[in-house]
C-alpha cells in the first residue's frame, strides 16, 4: 500500500507542479498588484536552499493527500469529478482555513493575499482529488 501511495502521490505531484506553477504564472498576469505584495520582507528567506523546499511543495502535498485519499476514499461517492471536488472542499475546510486564519492573524499580510493562498490550496487539492478519484477509485 505504501508503494501505491508513493507512486500515486509522486505522479500527482508532477500534475500539481504543472498546474500550480501554470496558475501562478497566469495569476501574476491577471492580478499583478496582488503579487507585488510578495516584495514584503517577511517573504525574504535569505537563502537559495529554500528554493528546493518551494519547488518540492507540490510533491510533498500530493503524497500527503494521496495517503489521505487512500485512507478515506470510501467516504466519497459519485462521479470522479464530484469526488475530487468534495475531497478538495474537505481539505480546504479542515486544513487550509485554520492555517490561513492563524497566518492572517500572526503575519503582516493582507486579506487578499491570504484569500489567494486559500483559493490556491483549494485548487491544488481539487486537482489532486480528481486525479486520485480517477486512478484510484
Where along the chain do its domains lie? 2-135
pLDDT digits (tens, 9 = 90+) for 20-39: 888 888 888 888 887 777 76
- Cell (9 digits) for 94: 479542515
- Give SS3 for 19: helix
- Cell (9 digits) for 36: 507585488
Q: Please list the ranges in the chain whose pLDDT falls under 70.
A: 39-40, 42-50
- Listed in sequence order, the residues at least 6 apart from 53 whose beta carbon sits closer than 8 Å to its beta carbon are none
pLDDT digits (tens, 9 = 90+) for 36-49: 777 667 666 666 66
Q: What is the distance between the alpha carbons of residues 17 and 30, in angstroms, rounded to a whole number?
A: 20
Amino acid at each position: 500500500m505504501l508503494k501505491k501511495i508513493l507512486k500515486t502521490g509522486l505522479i500527482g505531484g508532477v500534475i500539481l507542479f504543472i498546474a500550480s506553477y501554470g496558475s501562478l504564472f497566469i495569476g501574476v498576469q491577471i492580478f499583478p498588484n496582488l503579487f507585488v505584495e510578495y516584495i514584503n520582507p517577511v517573504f525574504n528567506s535569505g537563502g537559495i536552499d529554500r528554493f528546493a523546499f518551494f519547488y518540492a511543495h507540490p510533491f510533498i502535498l500530493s503524497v500527503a493527500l494521496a495517503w489521505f485519499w487512500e485512507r478515506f476514499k470510501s467516504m466519497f461517492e459519485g462521479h470522479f469529478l464530484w469526488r475530487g471536488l468534495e475531497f478538495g472542499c474537505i481539505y480546504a475546510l479542515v486544513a487550509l482555513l485554520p492555517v490561513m486564519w492563524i497566518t492572517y492573524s500572526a503575519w503582516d499580510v493582507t486579506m487578499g493575499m491570504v484569500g489567494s493562498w486559500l483559493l490556491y490550496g483549494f485548487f491544488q487539492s481539487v486537482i489532486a482529488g480528481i486525479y486520485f478519484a480517477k486512478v484510484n477509485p
